[in-house]
Amino acid sequence: MSKKLLTAVIGTALLGLTAHTASAGTLEDVKAKGFLQCGVNGSNLAGFGAQDSSGKWTGLDVDLCRAVAAAVFGDASKVKYTPLSAKDRFPALQSGEIDMLARNTTWTINRDSALGFDFRAVNYYDGQGFMVPKKLNVKSALELSGAAVCVQSGTTTELNLADYFKANNLQYNPVVFEKQEEVDAAYQAGRCDVYTTDQSGLYSIRLSLANPADHVILPEIISKEPLGPAVRANDSKWFDIVSWAHYAMVAGEEFGVTTANVDEKLKTENPDLKRFLGEEKDQHIGKDLGVDEKWAYNIIKQVGNYGESFNRNVGEGSPLKIARGLNGLWSKGGLQYAPPIR
């Protein structure tokens, strides 16, 4: 039996057999076991979720897991990671194997409703793109008629691809694999002409190819891919904590609070910032959320604000060098915006 089938069967069996006990909220479960089980990228997608040779996890999605742990435990290191392929991620979350999913997962209405998840925060605004070998001399996706296109199954990518080629009346040959490593290998072996996935993913994958300079990413963005954390539906307490962990990172950037200066900022007289850092007298934002009053302080102190995390993992401070673009603060022409923390 294939591994995939096995995972699915076990996932479903868990869904069937473990239910009666898992009825407490996820927050209580997480507190009781003492760590957060976070579902992340299974294929070492540098910048989002990747494990280095010493076993340490880094990435934008990994930082979100750490931020949630910092909020819940006051300790960002209390996270255990479950690497998941595109196909395995949803059964893993449905069955309760993981507490949250932070794995470049697109928020769609279908996943939000029919699949039984909840999405709200978006930690990376992305869109689907195409990568081709330079030697094919392609300038636009509209020239791709007749190409063999490599794509990962069980993704929004696969659906957008079918729609885009159909809408533009182009022919193509899908070459579909379940694991990203297999797609990478097929693309490199020349099994297909084009690689399509989220543009951020393309940047990351291009860096892992033998000769990154031999591949170009085409200008067309064919879809909206708001990537964000997902939790099981109908657990609003847990949903709030996961969402606000992201918003706290964004608010940190808005306030200009960083890992380096957060202790100094504790002395602030700004009431807004005081509340954010848990310094207001008798405040109960943290208590109402179900975490410590110092939750946001801990996130910034141990993980950093959104800008720091972006820069370190995918931005100028990383090999990927992705511009802030849509992921800049709203006040700087981007879409990252934290609702008021009050």
Partner 1 sequence: MVTSTDVRDDGGRSATSLLYNPVLRQIIYQVLTCAFIAWLIWYAASNVAENLARANMTAGFGFLTGRAGFDIAQSAIPYSSDSPFTRALLVGFINTIIIAVCGIITATIIGLLVGIGRLSSNWLIAKLCTVYVEVFRNIPPLLVIFFWYKGVLSLLPDVRQSLSLPLSVYVSNRGIFMPAPVFGERFWLIPAALVVGIIISLIYRAMARKKQMATGKASPILLVSLALIIGLPVLTFIALGTPITFDPPVLGKFNMRGGTVVGPEFLSLYMALSFYTAAFIAEIVRAGIKGVSKGQSEAAAALGIRPGLTTRLIILPQALRIIIPPLTSQYLNLTKNSSLAVAIGFADLVAVGGTILNQSGHSIEIIAIWMGVYVTISLATSLFMNWFNTKMALVER
Ligand X SMILES: N[C@@H](CCC(=O)N[C@@H](CS)C(=O)NCC(=O)O)C(=O)O
Judged by the rule CB under 6 A, the positions of this chain that interact with ligand X are: 41-43, 45, 85-86, 104-106, 152, 155-157, 179-180, 197-198, 201, 225, 227
For the CB of residue 167, give the shortest distance to ligand X in the complex, in Å. Answer: 19
Contacts for 176 with CB less than 8 Å, ≥ 6 apart: 151, 152, 153, 158
Residue 279 contacts which entry, partner 1, ligand X, none (Cβ below 5-8 A, type-dependent): none
CB atoms within 10 A of CB 104: 28
The interface partner of residue 236, options being partner 1, ligand X, none and the CB cut-off 5 to 8 Å by kind, is none
The helix (run of H) or strand (run of E) holding residue 3 is helix 3-17
In the complex, which residue's CB is closest to ligand X? 201
Residues 220/130, Cβ–Cβ less than 8 Å: yes
Q: How far is the CB of 41 from ligand X (least distance, A)?
A: 5
Structure tokens at 171: 């022919």
Q: Which of 147, 306, 123, 296 is nearest to 225 (CA)?
A: 123
Question: Kind of pairing, strands 36-41 and 79-84?
Answer: parallel
CB of 32 to partner 1, least distance (A): 19
Which of the choices partner 1, ligand X, none does residue 146 contact, using the CB cut-off of 5 to 8 A by kind? partner 1
Which of 102/144 has CB closer to partner 1?
A: 144
Token pair belonging to 342: 């009050």
Report the partner that residue 196 touches, choosing among partner 1, ligand X, none (CB closer than 5 to 8 A by kind): none
From partner 1, ligand X, none, interface partner of 225 (C-beta below 5 to 8 A by class): ligand X
**128 vs 305 by CB, closer to ligand X:** 128
Q: Which is nearer to ligand X, 105 or 327 (CB)?
A: 105
- Taking the least distance from each CB to ligand X, the nearer of 152 and 327 is 152
Cα end-to-end distance, the chain, whole Å: 53
Q: Which amino acid is at 93?
A: L
What residues line the site for partner 1 (CB under 8 A)? 1-2, 4-5, 8-9, 11-12, 15-20, 86-87, 90-91, 94, 110-111, 113-116, 136, 144, 146-148, 153-154, 158-159, 161-163, 166, 172-178, 182, 185-186, 189-191, 193, 232-234
Q: Are 140 and 132 in contact (CB under 8 A)?
A: no
Cβ pair 8, 91 in contact under 8 A: yes
* Tokens standing for residue 268: 């602030």
Residue nearer to ligand X on the CB measure, 179 or 301: 179
CB of 226 to partner 1, least distance (A): 18
Q: Quick one: 36 or 186, whose CB is closer to partner 1?
A: 186
Q: At what angle do helices 60-73 and 295-302 cross, to 10 degrees?
A: 140
CA-CA distance, 150 to 145, in Å (whole number)?
Answer: 14
The CB-of-200 to ligand X minimum distance in angstroms stands at 7
Whole-number minimum distance, CB 183 to partner 1, in Å?
Answer: 9
Residue 203's binding partner, choosing from ligand X, partner 1, none, with beta-carbon cut-off 5 to 8 A by kind? Answer: none
Place of tokens 């820069």: 311
CB atoms within 10 A of CB 65: 32
Q: Take residue 327 and report the two structure tokens written for it.
A: 């992921």
Separation CA 10–CA 317 (nearest Å): 41
Partner whose binding site includes residue 166, from ligand X, partner 1, none (CB under 5 to 8 Å by kind): partner 1
Cβ nearer to ligand X, comparing 153 with 283? 153
